[in-house]
């Protein structure tokens, strides 16, 4: 067999049905797709490749999928930490966004986010923010997969004056990227408290017509549920179900406040849950019942949330936190084992985004979204079980090589499609402006 690239690695974690760890195997890539996955001795005999890459001490995993973030909010990282959620939002984040968020802010913030995510082995992200056309463009230019959220809220912003204009701009974005190989779109109504029933009902109709996902915050905090009961007379999840949105196209983010009957309904309807453990912990939002959701058959993926509330976009760290937190919440050390955590960060994310036929696992025929992690570092040695070391000990700085659709975007830990110096210079300029305005606005209170 002729091929463009043959990678020899000490371990391959394909995230297949058997959760196998393959030792001394090789991965063959040609024309952007995985053409073979086989023992090294067979690969050397059967495949003639233009490029052969030796990666001793490395493990290959599928590209990580960040199933929920607000990429451009990297520019607000660390602006206001260790504050109650409402103080954080009302006195710092929302004023900063109201003053600064424009296409330039989103472009520079997204470049910074994409740089961080690629270096950490993330090959695809699901975004919810203003100016999604900018996010889609920047991500595609960097060779990264993105589900750019067609954001909808009722309140006017610089981006749109009302829900109708948000939807109009979103539909224009969808048409622009309808056939793009890397950038896709999905509806991103912020929440049931920020979007009224008429636009939610229209989103349900349009999502079915266009066959796209609906990505929204649901049951993020206890206060959200209490306020929904007080104002609307029903819990947020019940409202989504009444409006026809609870189903296989729904990506429900956070879900820290769930009753047994709600878990059963999510499972029955095929909706997806995105768990953001580190953001939930930092904002004291509550605990998602991950083990119970998985046991009920719910597809649970992982997200970092935005860098303003995490404060990083490190999905390797998120895997570890998710696995450890689930054990504590469930009271069982067997809850969410390493193989499940890796699946949540890869194939489950692809399922939530509706792209599991294309990516999420290292299987023949799928796109070559591949990450090589150097497990030879002292803190991942000695190595008995590659998947356990990947989840419980590996760090993002051990990511050495990244390919997306067969294109290498990280080589020896360095980006090939982005310019770090200019990205960091832009971040420093935004820091100076935002910090000054935050001090001024708080001095006025």
Regions of the chain short of the pLDDT cut 50? none
pLDDT in the model for residue 440:
62
Spatial neighbors of 251 by CB under 8 A, at least 6 apart, are 67, 68, 126, 186, 213, 214, 215, 216, 271, 272, 274, 301, 352, 353
Domain architecture of the chain: domains with CATH: 2-62+368-412 (2.30.40.10), 64-353 (3.20.20.140)
Q: Helix, strand, or coil here: 237?
A: helix
CA distance 107 to 139: 10
pLDDT in the model for residue 22:
98
Spatial neighbors of 264 by CB under 8 A, at least 6 apart, are 296
What DSSP line would sit under 189-202, residue for residue?
E--TTTS-HHHHHH
Q: Helix, strand, or coil here: 380?
A: helix
- Distances in whole angstroms, Cα of residue 20 to Cα of each of 339, 342, 355, 387, 419: 9, 12, 22, 9, 37
pLDDT in the model for residue 437:
75
pLDDT in the model for residue 85:
74
Q: At 303, give phi and psi (nearest 5°).
A: -140, 160
| CB 69 within 8 Å of CB 305 | yes
The CA radius of gyration of the chain, in Å to the nearest whole number, is: 21
CA dihedral (44, 49, 54, 57) positive or negative? negative
| CB 327 within 8 Å of CB 335 | yes
pLDDT in the model for residue 257:
97
Whose tokens are 């981006």? That residue is 159
pLDDT in the model for residue 31:
98
384: its two tokens: 């008995």
Is the pTM higher than 0.95? The answer reads yes
> ∠ at Cα 74 (141, 320), nearest 5°?
100
132: its two tokens: 């999604």
pLDDT in the model for residue 439:
61
β-strands 2-12, 48-62: how paired? Answer: parallel
| CB 219 within 8 Å of CB 180 | no
Closest CA to 9 of 43, 47, 50: 43
């Amino acid at each position: 067999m002729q091929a463009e690239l043959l990678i020899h690695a000490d371990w391959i974690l394909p995230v297949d049905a058997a959760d196998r760890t393959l030792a001394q195997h090789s991965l063959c890539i040609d024309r952007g797709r995985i053409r073979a996955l086989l023992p090294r001795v067979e690969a050397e005999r059967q495949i003639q490749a233009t490029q052969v890459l030796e990666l001793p001490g490395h493990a290959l995993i599928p590209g990580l999928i960040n199933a929920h973030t607000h990429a451009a909010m990297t520019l607000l990282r660390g602006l206001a930490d260790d504050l109650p959620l409402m103080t954080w939002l009302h006195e710092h984040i929302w004023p900063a966004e109201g003053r600064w968020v424009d296409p330039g802010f989103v472009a520079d913030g997204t470049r910074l986010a994409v740089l961080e995510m690629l270096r950490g082995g993330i090959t695809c992200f699901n975004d919810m923010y203003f100016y999604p056309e900018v996010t889609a463009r920047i991500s595609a230019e960097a060779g990264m997969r993105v589900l750019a959220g067609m954001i909808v809220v009722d309140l006017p912003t610089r981006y749109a004056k009302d829900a109708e204009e948000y939807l109009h701009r979103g539909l224009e974005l969808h048409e622009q990227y309808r056939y793009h190989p890397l950038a896709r779109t999905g509806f991103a109504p912020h929440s049931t408290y920020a979007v009224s029933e008429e636009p939610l009902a229209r989103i349900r109709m349009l999502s079915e017509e266009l066959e796209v996902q609906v990505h929204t915050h649901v049951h993020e905090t206890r206060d959200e549920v209490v306020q929904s009961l007080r104002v609307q007379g029903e819990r947020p999840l019940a409202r989504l179900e009444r409006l026809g949105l609870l189903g296989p196209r729904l990506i429900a983010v956070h879900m820290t406040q769930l009753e047994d009957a709600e878990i059963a309904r999510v499972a029955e309807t095929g909706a997806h849950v995105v768990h953001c453990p580190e953001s939930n912990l930092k904002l004291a939002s509550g605990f998602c019942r991950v083990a119970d959701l998985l046991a009920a058959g719910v597809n649970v993926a992982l997200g970092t949330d935005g860098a303003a509330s995490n404060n990083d976009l490190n999905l390797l760290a998120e895997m570890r936190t998710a696995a450890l937190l689930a054990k504590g919440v469930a009271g069982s050390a067997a809850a969410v084992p390493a193989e499940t955590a890796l699946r949540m960060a890869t194939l489950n994310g692809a399922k939530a985004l509706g792209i599991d036929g294309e990516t999420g696992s290292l299987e023949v025929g799928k796109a070559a979204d591949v990450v090589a992690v150097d497990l030879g570092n002292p803190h991942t040695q000695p190595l008995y079980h590659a998947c356990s070391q990947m989840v419980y000990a590996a760090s993002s700085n051990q990511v050495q090589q990244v390919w997306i659709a067969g294109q290498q975007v990280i080589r020896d830990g360095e980006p090939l499609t982005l310019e770090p110096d200019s990205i960091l210079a832009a971040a420093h300029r935004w820091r100076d402006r935002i910090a000054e305005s935050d001090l001024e606005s708080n001095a006025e209170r």
